[in-house]
Amino acid sequence: MSAYLIARITVTDPDDYQAYASQTVALAEKFGGRFLVKGGAQEGLEGNCPDRHVIIEFPDRATALDWYNSDAYQRILPIALSSSERDIVVVDGI
C-alpha cells in the first residue's frame, strides 16, 4: 500500500532552504519516491496555511521511513531544520 509523506512548511531562509530542496527529488527517487506536490501555487481555504506544501508518494510506509532515516537524507536535514519551520507526517494510502 502506498504511503505519503506530507510536509507543511514555512520557509524562513529561502537561500539555505533551496540548497536542501534541490537535493530531495533525486534522494526520494532512490527509494521509489515520487513528488506529487513540491511547493507550487496554493489557495488557503481553512485554518493556518504555511507557504509551502510537499507530498511525496512512496511504495509503502517502511520505505518512506527508510528514506527519512537514510544517511543521505539525514546529512541534508539540518539545512531544512535551520531554514524552515515544518510539520511532517507519513500517512498510509487507501
Mean pLDDT on 18-29: 97
DSSP letter string over 9-48?
EEES-HHHHHHHHHHHHHHHHHTT-EEEEES------SS-
Q: pTM of the prediction?
A: 0.93
Strand 52-58 vs strand 84-92: parallel, antiparallel, or unpaired? unpaired
- Confirm whether 81 is domain-assigned: yes
Q: What is the CATH number of the domain that holds 32?
A: 3.30.70.100
% of the chain at pLDDT higher than 90: 98
Range of the domain at 82: 3-41+51-92
Mean pLDDT on 9-38: 97
What's residue 66's pLDDT?
98
pLDDT, mean over the chain:
97
Please tell me the total count of domains within the chain: 1
